[in-house]
């Protein structure tokens, strides 16, 4: 009878060690590289590139957000969700993901040639999957 | 009769279970260390790739000290022409179709320090416009219908030199053009691309500290590879690839839309 109690003890100890091992190695397992920096750089570069190629300012002046989002879709990775607003002071958060870490990039546009715009493009970006 | 052997079964079971536990722990440890090694390699490669892309458009040194800084500060000027009476130099003329309206400008007079041989001119449809260089005066012609308007974009920088770009142009300067202030932009410079291409791969690896890489510039419109530098990625390795969209200067001073792809491993 005593022997079976020892066996039960060993099974109990084994279960404890097994659980502890899984817990510790899950806790210590290397975290995936944070995509935050990459997303932020991609978002800013995309706006900067569209501006440098001469397409951003006419769109901002026309306040054409769908066109801006269509242009951005060529430059942002497919796993990045985004929402844009062309605004001045307060920008609405409509359609911005609420359950993810969201990165915000502001890109200021003074004008196009002799037309004053005084606007900013606010780009929210997040990792979709 | 006492069966002595039976009383040892519990010990055998206990020892077996401990061996199994040890095997599981060793398995976990091995997998953990292996993942750790792969993650650190990927992390180092990502940092290298990000660092290359972040510094790409700077010009803080030359190729021999900062091999991946391929950028230069360029400028663009918009020029508009309105073929309406108000813009005619001779107000007694009636607005009519201008098939060879001559546009001339001089960077110094506009207030810029520029290399005339770095000029690239585009019309509204983004087609390249031929121009003439006479000393420091740049001229080109435009075809504008009566009451119509035209927009041209002139790109230039201070230290590019593309010779043989000048072609003869002739026309009549009837309309006063509007020149807008220059906008600064950063582009990948052709001469730096050439310098990098001429530099030995092993030297660039030593200078940058990146174990292995491949750097490509691909044209966005034609999808053709403009630069392919470095070695081919191995079939089995942790290869990190990042890309960035940039404007680059081609062999004829043209400003092209491209993407730079860096693969590190």
The residue of A30, A57, A79, A80 whose CB has the most chain B CBs within 10 angstroms, and thus the best one to mutate to test that interface, is: A30
ipTM: 0.74
**A15 vs B165, more confident:** B165
- Are the beta carbons of A43 and A125 closer than 8 angstroms? yes
Q: What count of CB pairs under 8 Å joins A to B?
A: 72
CB atoms within 10 A of CB B133: 15
Residue in B with minimal Cα distance to A22: B28
Q: Residue A31 has what pLDDT?
A: 56
Whether pLDDT at A38 is above 90: no
- Chain mean position to CA A55: 24
A111 beta partners: A116
Q: Residue A7 has what pLDDT?
A: 75
How would residue A1 be classed by pLDDT, with cut points 50, 70 and 90?
low
How would residue A47 be classed by pLDDT, with cut points 50, 70 and 90?
very high
How would residue A94 be classed by pLDDT, with cut points 50, 70 and 90?
confident
What DSSP designation does B138 have?
E
Instruction: Note if the pTM is more than 0.80.
Output: no
Chain A positions in Cβ-Cβ contact with residue B78 (cut-off 8 Å): 113
CA B58/CA B66 separation, integer angstroms: 10
Q: From the DSSP assignment, how many helices (H) and strands (E) are in chain B?
A: 4, 12
Whether pLDDT at A30 is above 70: no
Whether pLDDT at B233 is above 80: yes
Count Cβ atoms within 10 A of the Cβ of residue A40 and give its class: 0-12 exposed, 13-18 middle, 19 or more buried. Answer: middle
Residue in A with minimal Cα distance to B37: A30
How would residue A11 be classed by pLDDT, with cut points 50, 70 and 90?
confident
Selecting from B28, B187, B245 the residue whose C-beta is nearest the C-beta of A45 gives B245
Place of tokens 């590190």: B264
CA A72/CA A61 separation, integer angstroms: 17
Q: What is the mean pLDDT of residues A62-68?
A: 94
Selecting from B40, B76, B245 the residue whose C-beta is nearest the C-beta of A49 gives B245
Residue in B with minimal Cα distance to A35: B46
Interface contact A113-B80, CB threshold 8 A: yes
Selecting from A25, A49, A53 the residue whose C-beta is nearest the C-beta of B32 gives A25
CA A107/CA A59 separation, integer angstroms: 13
> How distant is the Cα of B193 from the closest Cα of chain A, in angstroms?
19
CA nearest neighbour of B207 among B56, B54, B69, B65: B65
Residue B264 token pair: 């590190």
Chain A positions in Cβ-Cβ contact with residue B52 (cut-off 8 Å): none
The residue of A4, A29, A42, A53 whose CB has the most chain B CBs within 10 angstroms, and thus the best one to mutate to test that interface, is: A53
């Amino acid at each position: 009878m005593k022997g079976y109690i020892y066996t039960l003890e060993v099974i109990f100890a084994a279960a404890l060690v097994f659980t502890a091992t899984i817990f510790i190695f899950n806790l210590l397992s290397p975290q995936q590289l944070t995509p935050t920096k990459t997303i932020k750089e991609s978002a800013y570069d995309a706006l900067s590139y569209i501006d440098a190629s001469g397409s951003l300012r006419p769109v901002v002046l026309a306040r054409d957000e769908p066109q801006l989002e269509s242009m951005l879709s060529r430059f942002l990775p497919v796993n990045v969700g985004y929402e844009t607003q062309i605004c001045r002071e307060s920008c609405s958060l409509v359609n911005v993901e609420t359950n993810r870490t969201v990165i915000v990039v502001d890109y200021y546009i003074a004008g196009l040639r002799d037309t004053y715009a005084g606007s900013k493009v606010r780009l929210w970006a997040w990792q979709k999957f | 009769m006492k069966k002595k052997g039976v009383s040892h079964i519990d010990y055998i079971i206990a020892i077996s279970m401990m061996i199994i536990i040890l095997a599981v722990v060793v398995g976990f440890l091995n997998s953990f260390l292996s993942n750790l090694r792969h993650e650190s390699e990927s992390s180092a490669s990502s940092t290298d790739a990000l660092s290359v892309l972040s510094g790409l458009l700077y010009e803080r040194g030359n190729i021999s000290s900062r091999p991946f800084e391929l950028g230069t500060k360029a400028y663009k000027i918009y020029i508009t022409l309105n073929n309406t009476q108000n813009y005619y130099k001779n107000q007694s003329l009636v607005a009519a179709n201008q098939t060879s309206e001559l546009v001339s400008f001089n960077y110094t007079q506009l207030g810029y320090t520029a290399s005339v041989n770095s000029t690239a001119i585009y019309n509204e449809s983004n087609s390249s416009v031929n121009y003439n260089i006479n000393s420091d005066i740049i001229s080109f012609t435009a075809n504008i219908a009566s009451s119509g308007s035209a927009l041209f974009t002139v790109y230039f920088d201070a230290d590019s030199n593309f010779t043989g770009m000048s072609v003869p142009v002739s026309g009549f300067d009837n309309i006063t053009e509007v020149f807008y202030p220059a906008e600064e932009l950063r582009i990948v410079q052709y001469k730096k691309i050439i310098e990098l291409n001429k530099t030995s791969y092993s030297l660039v690896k030593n200078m940058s500290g990146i174990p292995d890489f491949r750097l490509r510039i691909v044209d966005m419109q034609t999808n053709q590879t403009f630069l392919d530098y470095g070695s081919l990625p191995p079939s089995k390795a942790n290869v990190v690839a990042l890309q960035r969209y940039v404007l680059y200067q081609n062999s004829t001073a043209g400003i092209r839309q491209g993407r730079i792809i860096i693969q590190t491993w």
